[in-house]
Structure formats: structure tokens, C-alpha cells
Amino acid sequence: MKIGIVIHTNTGHTLKFAQAIRDKLTAKGHEVDITGLRTQGVISSGIIPIVRTNFSIKNPPDLGEFDAVLIGGPVWAFKASPVIMRYLVEDVRTLKGKKALAFVTMGGGGGDRALRMINEELEASAADVVEGEKLKYFFKFKAGALEAAVERVCEKLGA
Ligand SMILES: Cc1cc2nc3c(=O)[nH]c(=O)nc-3n(C[C@H](O)[C@H](O)[C@H](O)COP(=O)(O)O)c2cc1C
């Protein structure tokens, strides 16, 4: 399969998760491409609501060429990353016929809500959405947690 991974990462945790997924899928013979969304402007963290969100995404990838797409980002203020949500709402057109899986990293809570938010947008784009994955990063990933999550991602994709 040709698989596109699109992430937003601020401190690199989601990138580590994405790279581990890519390495496993590549070892299984799939072709994988990771795009980290780059932004310009002020992104509200959601924690201080008074901060206005006024940013644009500089490199929104077109997902047309992929058989499956993975969308990943951090949980911010118990919600999905605003960068990921903006990308899905404004830049992603139809995902009909493509498998889609969301993944998030977080310090503590809000992962289920964040996954739901991303999945709703993926469904609105007509993707064949499979169950997402959330992974805690508290100073580090727990021993074995990253590998187990990567394994589940591959299973859910049928890869
Ligand atoms: C602005 C901000 C808000 C956050 N809000 C939450 C939260 O609500 N729940 C949570 O579990 N972690 C929260 N975190 C922690 C991040 O989700 C976590 O560190 C994540 O792994 C960061 O991913 P990244 O390194 O890819 O940016 C927050 C971090 C930041 C910077």
C-alpha cells in the first residue's frame, strides 16, 4: 500500500510515533511518506482562549495518491490539535476509498475526544475510518508502549 502520514508536532512526540509507524510499515513492504505540517502565525493553545488563532498551514499535502492515510497530532486542552483540525476542514477533499486512522499523543487525558474530533472529519471526507490510537508521553513513552501501539496500527490497517 501507499500510505501517507500527516502530523502536527510541537515537541516531537508525535513525530517519534509517526516514524516508528513508518519504519514498521516500510519493513512490511509498504511505501510511506510523512509530512509534518508547518504553520505561520499565532496558534491558540486552547488553554488561554483570549489568544486569537490566526495561522495558516504552509505545506498542506494532497492525499490523492495514497491508499491509506494516517493523521496524527498532540492533544491540546483536551481536544485535537487545532493545526490538524484546520488541515482536515480546509485542505482535505474526498478520501473515498481510502482507509484512514487517527493517532494522538498526550500527557494525560483527552485522547478519546481528540480522536473523535479527527474521526468525524475523516468520516465527513468519506474515508473508511478504522479505530484510532492514543499514546501517553510523560517524560517518555512507557516501556513497550510505543512498539505495542505501532503493532496495533498495522493490524487495524491490515498492513
Ligand atoms: C498547549 C498544550 C496543551 C496540552 N493539553 C493537553 C491535554 O489537554 N491533555 C493531555 O493529555 N496532554 C496535553 N498536552 C501535552 C501534549 O499533548 C503532549 O506532550 C504531546 O505528546 C505533545 O506532542 P508533540 O510533541 O508531538 O507536540 C498539552 C501540551 C501543550 C503544549
Q: What is the DSSP string of the chain?
A: -EEEEEE--SSSHHHHHHHHHHHHHHHTT-EEEEEE--EEEE---SSSTTSPPEEEES-PPP-TT-SEEEEEEEEETTEE-HHHHHHHHHT----TT-EEEEEEEESSS-HHHHHHHHHHHHHHTT-EEEEEEEEE-BSBPPTTHHHHHHHHHHHHHT-
What is the pLDDT, as a whole number, of residue 90?
Answer: 96
The answer to pTM > 0.75 is yes
- Which ligand 1 atom sits closest to the C-alpha of 110? 9
Q: Which atom of ligand 1 is nearest to the CA of 7?
A: 26
What does the pLDDT look like over 96-105, one tens digit per residue? Answer: 999 999 999 9
Q: Which residues form ligand 1's pocket by a CB distance below 6 Å? A: 9-14, 45, 47, 74-78, 105-110, 137
Residue ranges of domains in the chain, CATH in brackets: 2-157 (3.40.50.360)
Q: What is the tens place of the pLDDT at every residue in 25-35? A: 999 999 999 99
